[in-house]
Amino acid sequence: MSERIRKNKKVAIIYSMMNCKGEIIMEVSPDAPIFYLHGCGNKSIVPGLESALEGHVEGDVFSVELPCKMAFGPYNQNLVIEVAKEELTPFIDDFWVGDYIESLDDEYMEEMSESERFFKDIEEQQEPHGYIIREIRKNTVILDGNHPYAGVDLIFNVKVASVSDASIMELENGYPKESEEYYEDDDYEDDDYCGDTLR
């Protein structure tokens, strides 16, 4: 009997992601499926898609429409802020609209007096963020901390590539070994641990 997707199962999926106009904006190749541990809060899958996968088995194909709040979240205007160029120039060689800036470390955040509210908002979301340069002005830069698809309702066309038992190490780490997070240091928060079986 085929394994069904439930908490602590390791799942591999392939999918295409479309906006409500039917335009494909992202595709996951069958040669490089997305792996995640079901019910473990992995960031590689949005909440609505994970919920829709519950109970499915390997080989299942389905579509699901997700409102933005169940995908990448609503657009948050508080995550858009104007920052002085001089605060960024020690870390950025040149400014281009659309460039992505990686999350900044705590020491740098402490130095950015004008940006305290921005980074506080990011921290309260309890997930790492990068920032997109939306506009370049004479002495300042407009940064946007929203996910590129925040505020967008999405359609996922999904195929379940595999469903299997996670290893003890994967369950302890909270991520499948195919995930980059698996290889990060071992200082995990409690929420990163999967389940009652490990407590």
Cα distance between residue 64 and residue 44, in whole Å? 17
Same-domain status, 81 and 140? yes
* DSSP-assigned letters across all residues of 45-108: S-HHHHHHHTT-BTT-EEEEEE-GGGTT----GGGEEEEEHHHHTTT-S---TT-EEPPPPHHH
Cα distance between residue 157 and residue 155, in whole Å? 7
Beta-carbon contacts of 113 under 8 Å, excluding residues fewer than 6 positions away, are none
Nearest Cα to Cα of residue 50 among 8, 102, 92, 108: 8
pLDDT digits (tens, 9 = 90+) for 95-111: 899 988 875 544 444 44
Same-domain status, 48 and 137? no
Domains identified in the chain, total number: 2
Same-domain status, 47 and 97? no
Classify residue 164: in a domain, yes or no. Answer: yes
Same-domain status, 26 and 46? yes
CATH at 37: 3.10.50.40
Classify residue 119: in a domain, yes or no. Answer: yes
| Three-class HEC string of 119-162 | HHHHHHCCCCCCEEEEEECCCEEEEECCCCCCCCCEEEEEEEEE
Same-domain status, 67 and 158? yes
Classify residue 4: in a domain, yes or no. Answer: no
* Range of the structural domain that residue 120 is part of: 77-144
Same-domain status, 59 and 157? yes
Cα distance between residue 169 and residue 183, in whole Å? 11
Same-domain status, 138 and 86? yes
Cα distance between residue 47 and residue 101, in whole Å? 25
Classify residue 98: in a domain, yes or no. Answer: yes
Classify residue 3: in a domain, yes or no. Answer: no
pLDDT digits (tens, 9 = 90+) for 33-76: 999 999 998 888 999 999 999 999 999 999 999 999 999 999 99
Number of Cβ within 10 Å of residue 79's Cβ equals: 18
Angle at 99 between CA 15 and CA 67, to 5 degrees: 40
CATH at 121: 2.40.10
Same-domain status, 82 and 131? yes
Classify residue 2: in a domain, yes or no. Answer: no
Same-domain status, 30 and 58? yes
For residue 84, give both structure tokens.
């002085």
pTM of model > 0.85: no
For residue 197, is pLDDT > 60? no
pLDDT digits (tens, 9 = 90+) for 120-173: 444 444 444 688 999 999 999 999 989 889 999 999 999 999 999 999 999 998
